[in-house]
Structures are given as C-alpha cells and as structure tokens.
Structure 1
C-alpha cells in the first residue's frame, strides 16, 4: 500500500512589525491568492486528503484553511499544533509518525527552513529552499506512518505558485 505526504510551506505573509510577533503574522493578499491557486491545482489533480496537520502560527493555519476549502476538506477538522513552529524537522517527523493508520494522504503545513530540511531528510532529494506556498509530494511504499524516517520516501514533485503562473 502506498501513502502520500504533501509538505506545504505557508504562503506569503506580512512582514514582522512592532505590533505583531512572528507567530501572529498573517497572509498577504498575494499569499491568499497563491494558497487558493495551489489548493485548486491539487484538487484538479484529484487530491482528496485524509488529514491536514498545520502549525498553529497564523500564516500556516491560514494557508491550510484556504487550501482545505479548495480541496473540499472541512477546515474545522484541521489538526493544529504549535510544535510545527520553530521546533525543527523532528517535530514534523513526529506529526507524520503519529498520523492515523487509515490515513493515506496526509498534508503538513509549516515553515522554512525546517520544512525544506524535512522534505530533504525524507527523500534525500536536493530541493534547495521551498518557496512560499509550495508543495513537495512524497510517496511511501509499504510503510506505516510510524515507520517513516530518513530516506524512506520517494520524491514525486515540487510545485510552487510561481510555476502555475506560467
């Protein structure tokens, strides 16, 4: 049985200000548009996610909500965790390793640089730096979520909003 992980970097967010901390930064209008565009792109490819797990930081959760809408996923069902905010790639691995057995298509929303390191850790594929709003798709063959670790995934694709505009 194959499982698929969609690793999503949050879309473009407002710059830090003295009024809001980094955790509370929200998406810009172009970030909102890019998140919707990426969600529609994935929906058009036939993605029907079983579970969405997001950093609870505003920009990541907003990206997850917008993409969930495009994917016809109930945004109230998005699982949020602060652990995916600035806790390193191990936090992403923990989120994946604890996904329910019945889940076949898992989306995880987070932040750079950790999310890029995580994608490269799983696939041993040199991604560089995931751009804002981008999605890396990873396939796992004959593994339960709890068995996933370094180099167990097969890199399938890297899609970014800037690729869709062309």
Structure 2
C-alpha cells in the first residue's frame, strides 16, 4: 500500500486550517487517513506548525512519500534534514554524536531565524501603531482648532455714522469730477 504524508483541509472559506496526516494515496483528500501527525495554520504570521517530529520521521523512514506542501513543512521543521543525517550515519560518513550535534546546531539557527522574524513583525506593528496614534492626535488638534475658531466671538467693526457716509460720498463725487475734467 502506497502511503502519502499530505494535508487534510479544515476551516471555513477563506480561512484554511490543515491537519498533516498519513493516508493511503488512493484515499480522497479529506477522507480516511492512517495517522494524524500534526497541524498547519497558514493564517498566522509566521505560519503555525504543530508536528509530532518522531512520528513524522518514523513514517518517512518507512517510505511514506510527502506531497509538495507537506515536504516543505517537513523540511521547515527539520524532519528531512534529520533523515538525511541518519542516512549519513548508516553509510558510515560520521557517527551518531556528530549527526546529533549538526542537527542541534541547525535547530538553534532555525529558532533564531524564526524569533528574528517575530521580533521584526512586532517592531513593524509597533511603528504602525505609533504612526496611527500620531495621526489621530494631529487630527484631534485640527478639530479642536476648528471648533475653537467657530465658537470664538466675532469682532464687529466700529459702526459708521451718517456723517462719515456723507463725507465719503462727497469725496467720491469730487474725485469723479476731477477725473472727468482731465
């Protein structure tokens, strides 16, 4: 019986969630499976992968073939690298202790890389939050200034008297007469 390590889809439309399973290659995608190895949630950043490492390695050693996406997940978690190192031990290229040291070194580097990404994402989110708060404060100040300008008492110009108006009309007519004489 040919077995495959593949993903079984769950979740609602637009929000997928997958179980990593070992199934007969002839079984339907969401149908009967032999064993559940873990889960994969691509909705988070970085994606959340929960995998039973020992079971996955055991099935790989038994000959189960992963699909492309399952292969990427197994590689990300180090199952394929561990299988590769075990092959080197069987061939006599190095001993078990060296293989374990290499895997631990790889695992530390991978964890540091993941943690760096998480820190970078949290810093980026903090910067976005600061910018949003600053923009909101600026908008609030503009609104307050507009309200203050609207509610401020309007200063009236001093009222003109009838004598001032009469003097202005006389001056205007005098200017008209001098302009027409020229």
Return the TM-score normalized by structure 1: 0.26
Structure having the higher Rg: 2
Structure of greater relative contact order (alpha carbons < 8 Å, 6+ residues apart): 1
Q: Tell me the TM-score normalized by structure 2.
A: 0.25
Higher-helix-fraction structure = 2
